[in-house]
Amino acid sequence: MDQLSAAGKSKMRIANSVFFFVSGFGYSSWASRIPSIKHQLNLNEAQLGVVLFAMPVGLMLTMPLTAKMIKHFSSRVMMLIGALAFSLVLCLPGFAAYMWQLIVVLFFIGSTRNILGLSMNSQAVGIQALYDKSIMVTFHGIWSLAGFGGAAVGYVMVLFNVAPSYHLLFVGIAMLILSAIFYPSTYDYQPAETPDKSVFSMPDKHLLKFSLICFASMACENTLYDWSGVYFEKVVHASKSFAEAGFVVYMVTMTIGRFAGDRVVSAIGIKKVLTYSSGLVFAGLLVSVFLPYTLTVYLGYAMIGMGVSCIVPLIFSMAGKSKTMNSSQALAAISTVGYLGFVIIPPIVGFIAQIANLQIAFFVVAAFAAMMIWMVRKIEDEPAVS
């Protein structure tokens, strides 16, 4: 690895960044057309909820198996398979004529996105090992930036009444071409061999704290994805445009945090960044709960966005150094627990809001941020890198 030239490392880093772009742009392109496809199939809110649940089910069911596949075929090969399969399935949602067809398609979008996600993060861990400075967070920043791009293109497609079928078909084909072009430059990286574990292996004692931090961070992150606009409407009593602006504030600060994160990690170390990030998430949720006014909730959302920006990428980076599992197995193990927070907590927020109110629900979510602060204190100190 030390014999690789700076140009060679940079080439692999760019190639892996393209796969993060494919994942982010593809996912946000689909998300931007959900209202159009809902109208196209005449789905009510309950039916849409059932349909959307198919994606996390597909993701969760294939996650443990994906780690085994990466071990046998390498993260590089599985990343290409995941990207090609994800891009192909992405072409299909607009062509669904019945609700069951869309459920099947979304199940496979979740499954293929999981293959792409785990393998590209495993590649990122391998490439990170080639550098003395932190680069892991920037990969996730590219995902966020691609998400903005996909949402913007989706907005234009809606504005010009382009059918979801043609829009997503074009995006899927474009992502296929990008994946094929940049695959030859990816890192031919095989994680170190470790003893075989069960397909449904859970994180060991060493990785458990990372898993719980990942769970809590994803719970806070997806709560803002799903409920930030509703919070503005129900609690702040703001207009729809102010609610949408709140989500933009959250996404912009998250993206800025991800592009700035590697520099901060290089300056002060991973543990301090995780400590400050967890504190920002906790403080931002409390500001939003106890000062429910437009400007203060914007401030709270900005703090949460900046806080969650670095946590999961850095946890992935640290877990990839596990001595008891190879990087793909470690990422799969903590992701299995982490994505439970992403999937389970937002519906629980809705349940709490139904029996109490949304402020109390957000206060409960703040408890997960407090748990992060406590768990980060248990992580061993790592020196800053330069």
Q: What is the pLDDT along the chain (386 residues), one digit of tens a residue?
A: 445 778 888 999 999 999 999 999 998 899 888 878 888 999 886 787 778 778 888 888 887 787 778 777 888 999 999 999 999 999 999 999 999 999 999 999 999 998 998 899 888 888 988 888 888 889 988 998 998 888 889 888 988 999 999 999 999 999 999 999 999 999 886 655 555 555 445 555 667 888 899 999 989 988 887 788 888 888 998 887 787 788 788 888 988 999 998 899 989 988 999 999 999 999 999 999 999 999 999 999 999 999 999 999 899 888 766 666 666 677 777 877 877 787 788 778 888 888 888 899 999 999 999 999 999 988 875 544 44
Give the 3-state DSSP-derived string for the chain, with helices as H, strands as E and coil as C: CCCCCHHHHHHHHHHHHHHHHHHHHHHHHHHHCHHHHHHHCCCCHHHHHHHHHHHHHHHHHHHHHHHHHHHHHCHHHHHHHHHHHHHHHHCCHHHCCCHHHHHHHHHHHHHHHHHHHHHHHHHHHHHHCCCCCCCHHHHHHHHHHHHHHHHHHHHHHHHCCCCHHHHHHHHHHHHHHHHHHHHHHCCCCCCCCCCCCCCCCCCCHHHHHHHHHHHHHHHHHHHHHHHHHHHHHHHHCCCHHHHHHHHHHHHHHHHHHHHHHHHHHHHHCHHHHHHHHHHHHHHHHHHHHHCCCHHHHHHHHHHHHHHHHHHHHHHHHHHCCCCCCCHHHHHHHHHHHHHHHHHHHHHHHHHHHHHCCHHHHHHHHHHHHHHHHHHHCCCCCCCCCC
The answer regarding whether domain 9-185 maps to CATH 1.20.1250.20 reads: yes
CATH of domain 201-381: 1.20.1250.20
- Tell if the pTM clears 0.75, that is, is over it: yes
State residue 190's pLDDT score.
Answer: 62
* Domain boundaries along the sequence of the chain: 9-185, 201-381
